[in-house]
A = this chain, B = another copy of it.
Amino acid sequence: MTEHTSRPVAVAPDTRPAMYERLCAAVDAAGADRVGVGDAEGLVWADPGNTDDFPAIVVDADRLEWIQLPYAGIEPFAQHLDERWAWTCGKGVYAPAVAETALAMALAGFKHLHGYSRADTWSAPVGRLLAGSRVTILGGGGIAECLLALLSPFGCDTTVIRRSDHPLAGADRTLTVDRLPDVLPSTDLLVVALALTAETRGIIDAAAIDLLPDNAWIVNVARGGHIVTDDLVAALSDGRLGGAALDVTDPEPLPDGHPLWALPNCLVTPHIANTPEMGLDLLESFVEENVRRFCEGRALLAPVDVALGY
């Protein structure tokens, strides 16, 4: 047992009861004093879908120092980010689950499982090996790290594209974002796994897609806004791309009747990279660890850079 000072930590809002209860349990297990927001030095936000209530809930929280957000993608909170407080998020918590989903979707594309799932008759065998393919991962965070680990037995040629060229363990090469156009023509599989910011919104547009080989697959497990949807629809319709597997869409949820639903080379999943049943377990133990660190005055995991917005 590490000795630690207990500190007052609140959990709010309670608009999503299953998450609220699990996060209260995490705060208690970490040994913090669970208090109302007005008395709290730390706040664990417990409903990623509810950001509108945030200003009213913290208006009297004069002692507040730290806010823990529940998800990796914090853009719904962008307007509330404020350097008065230290912010942490769910960055990395769900990375193993998201990486697993990315691999599942890539393999499904390469093996035509989306097409065979729709079939009601025996047809010709098609499919490519992922082993030995050229994989480009856009983003150098926890998802990329976990995906590289899952890909390691496949002997792929892996390129990570990130803001810095600081090498990511397990990647054959790590390049900065300006090198993306150089890499796309030799990419069999492009995995989008980076944070959504003003700079990365629409990064996969018609120009980028046209640089990919005609049989390349795109897997998006980040945010729908990284891809210009209309450009993707056009490329998929024209056969200028092997296919796309999208766990996130723009708009999201994808409306009924949207062309992406009907395209034979597209697989849409409804943001399953971490499902509630998988995610709450991962989140609870992560928040417990961060609350413990907060009480002990240690560095917090998954800090948000308020200036960069992720």
Instruction: Give A254-269 interface residues, CB cut-off 8 Å to B.
Output: 254-256, 261-262, 267-269
Residue of B nearest to A150 (CB): B153
Q: Compute how far the CA of A270 lies from the CA of B120 in the bound complex, rounded to whole angstroms.
A: 11
Residues 105-130 of A, flagged 1 when their CB comes within 8 A of B and 0 if not, give 10110111111111111111111111
Q: Within the complex, what minimum Cβ distance (angstroms) separates A245 from chain B?
A: 9
> What is the bound-complex CA distance between A150 and B108, given in angstroms?
16
- A135 → chain B, closest Cβ, in Å? 14
A107 touches B114 (CB 8 A): no
Query: Would A103 and B107 count as touching, CB distance under 8 A?
Result: yes
* A107 surroundings in chain B (CB, below 8 A): 100, 103-104, 107-108
What residue in chain B is nearest A147 (Cβ atoms)?
B153
Chain B residues with Cβ below 8 Å from A110 are: 104
Cα distance, A104 to B277, chains bound together (Å): 22
> CB of A101 within 8 A of chain B?
yes
Contacts of A198 in B (CB 8 A): none
A270 and B104 in contact, given A117-B118, A118-B117, A150-B153 (Cβ under 8 angstroms):
no
- Contact at B100–A130, with CB atoms within 8 Å? yes
Residues of B within 8 A of A123 (CB): 270
Residues in B with CB closer than 8 Å to A149 are 153
With CB as the reference atom, state the residue of chain B lying closest to A121: B256
Check: A90 CB closer than 8 A to any chain B CB: no
Cα–Cα distance between A278 and B152 once the two chains are bound (Å): 20
Residues of the B chain whose Cβ atoms lie less than 8 Å from the Cβ of A130: 100
Chain A window 164-197, contacts with chain B (Cβ cutoff 8 Å), 1 for yes, 0 for no = 0000000000000000000000000000000000
Q: Residues of B contacting A114 with CB < 8 Å?
A: 113, 117
* Neighbouring B residues of A118 by C-beta, 8 Å: 117-118
A17, CB-defined interface residue at 8 Å: no
Q: How many copies does the complex hold?
A: 2
Point out which of A105, A129, A256 has the most chain B C-beta atoms below 10 A from its C-beta: A129
| A262–B108 touching, CB < 8 Å | no
Interface presence of A253 (CB below 8 A): yes
Cβ–Cβ < 8 Å partners of A124 in chain B: 270
Q: Indicate if the CB atoms of B112 and A254 lie closer than 8 Å.
A: no
Q: Does A96 contact B (CB under 8 A)?
A: yes
Given A101-B111, A113-B113, A150-B153: A120 touches B275 (CB 8 Å cut-off): no
Interface 1/0 per residue, A139-150 and B, CB below 8 Å = 000000000011
Not counting A105-B111, A123-B270, A127-B275, a sample of 20 additional A-B residue pairs whose C-beta atoms are within 8 angstroms of each other reads: A96-B129, A96-B131, A97-B129, A97-B131, A104-B108, A104-B110, A104-B111, A104-B113, A111-B272, A112-B272, A113-B113, A118-B118, A119-B268, A120-B262, A122-B253, A125-B270, A125-B272, A126-B275, A128-B277, A152-B153
Supply 17 A–B pairs (Cβ within 8 Å), ascending by A: A96-B129, A96-B131, A100-B130, A104-B104, A104-B111, A108-B113, A111-B269, A112-B269, A112-B272, A116-B267, A122-B255, A125-B272, A126-B272, A126-B275, A127-B278, A149-B153, A150-B153
